[in-house]
């Protein structure tokens, strides 16, 4: 499938529609799709006929499940570099979405994970439905949250973002809004009417009023009721201490979380914790993306990424053999190496 078929671009009234069109793989992003999205947004930014951009996913399952993980896995196994070029352009696209001067409406219906968060979570109008499942699940495959996800999660209230970053837990509409990953809840059966109405919107104020007119209260979430133990446990200085605190709270959900964390890549967990905490101190999304690019380049070369994808997605045996397999064997020096500058290979968005 070529990029023109994988990303459908059409103008309806004043709204430019960008539809990710690979429903058989849950609209997973490849490099050609990223470039097409970037080109479409660059043109839309100066096109007087376009007042609003709407991004959505084809099919009934979701907006986007993330990047094309199998392709990235194969590239890593072969010792390739194509994935680094993909991430370079993907992170630039994430920054463009963040800076886009017109309303950018993301319909986050269904599954929105990884790269799907990257093409939606930085938009100015982020809409979830009762079917939304939003997550940054990278630690489950031995990787680290990227596409600006570390900054989004770092800015969530308390330690909710740290919890989501380490566990990769998907959240529904109410919790996505609570964590700052979305802005409005619109029931899925109202989306067609909303899209039709947006075609006639000329100003950002029109867009805001139109979205609010179609929005409604989501069903209650679960994170608010768990906030006390999440904030207390994830404020710990290390992953080991976080897990200890989770196991000692007396809360069944906390104990289950501790057990789940112990099954994940020790390296990915420690690097993710450091990445979120550093992202909290960054001055901009661009600075966070520069950091993520360094981390992604190192995680791509680490054996846990290939092993995690093998166990979770390729062979699906659910039994990854992490290297190292104990948290105690991942040193501070090991973690700091993921954040070291890349020299001439830097992404360099914060310098622009």
For 260, phi then psi, to 5°, come to: -65, -40
CB-based burial, 288-302: b 16+ in 10 Å, e otherwise: bbbbbbbbbbbbbeb
Q: Which residues pair with 171 in a beta bridge?
A: 134
Three-state secondary structure string covering 215-260: CCCCCCCCHHHHHHHHHHHHCCCCHHHHHHHHHHCCCHHHHHHHHH
Is the four-CA dihedral 207, 209, 212, 214 of positive or negative sign? negative
Nearest to 305 by CA among 163, 144, 148: 144
User: CA 18, CA 345: separation in Å to the nearest integer?
Assistant: 31
Cis upstream peptide for 100 (omega within 30°): no
Q: Is residue 249 packed enough to be buried (19+ CB in 10 Å), middle (13-18) or exposed (0-12)?
A: middle
DSSP code for 141: G
Dist. CA 352–CA 76, nearest whole Å: 29
Q: What positions carry a catalytic annotation?
A: 67, 115, 138, 146
Q: Which H helix or E strand runs over 161?
A: helix 160-167
Indicate the SS3 state at residue 57.
strand
């Amino acid at each position: 499938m070529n990029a023109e078929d994988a990303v459908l671009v059409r103008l309806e009234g004043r709204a430019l529609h960008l539809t990710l069109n690979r429903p058989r793989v849950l609209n997973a992003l490849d490099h050609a799709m990223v470039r097409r999205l970037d080109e479409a947004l660059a043109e839309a930014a100066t096109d007087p006929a376009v007042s609003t951009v709407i991004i959505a996913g084809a099919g009934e399952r979701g907006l986007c499940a993330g990047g094309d993980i199998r392709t990235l896995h194969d590239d890593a196994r072969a010792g390739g570099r194509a994935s680094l070029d993909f991430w370079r352009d993907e992170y630039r696209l994430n920054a463009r979405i963040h800076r886009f001067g017109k309303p950018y409406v993301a319909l986050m219906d269904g599954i929105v994970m990884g790269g799907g968060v990257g093409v939606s979570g930085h938009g100015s109008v982020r809409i979830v439905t009762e079917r939304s499942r939003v997550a940054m699940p990278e630690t489950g495959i031995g990787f680290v949250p990227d596409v600006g996800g570390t900054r989004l999660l770092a800015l969530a209230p308390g330690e909710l973002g740290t919890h989501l970053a380490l566990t990769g837990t998907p959240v529904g509409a109410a919790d996505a809004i609570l964590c700052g990953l979305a802005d409005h809840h619109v029931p899925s059966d109202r989306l067609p009417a909303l899209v039709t109405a947006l075609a006639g919107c000329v100003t950002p104020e029109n867009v805001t009023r139109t979205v609010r007119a179609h929005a409604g209260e989501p069903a209650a979430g679960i994170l608010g009721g768990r906030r006390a133990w999440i904030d207390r446990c994830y404020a710990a200085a290390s992953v080991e201490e976080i897990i200890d605190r989770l196991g000692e709270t007396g809360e069944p959900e906390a104990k289950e979380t501790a057990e789940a964390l112990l099954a994940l890549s020790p390296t990915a967990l420690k690097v993710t914790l450091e990445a979120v905490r550093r992202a909290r101190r960054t001055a901009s999304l661009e600075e966070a993306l520069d950091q993520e690019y360094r981390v992604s380049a190192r995680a791509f070369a680490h054996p846990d990424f290939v092993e995690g994808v093998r166990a979770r997605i390729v062979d699906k045996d659910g039994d990854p053999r992490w290297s190292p397999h104990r948290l105690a064997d991942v040193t501070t020096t090991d973690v700091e190496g993921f954040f070291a500058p890349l020299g001439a290979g830097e992404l360099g968005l914060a310098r622009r």
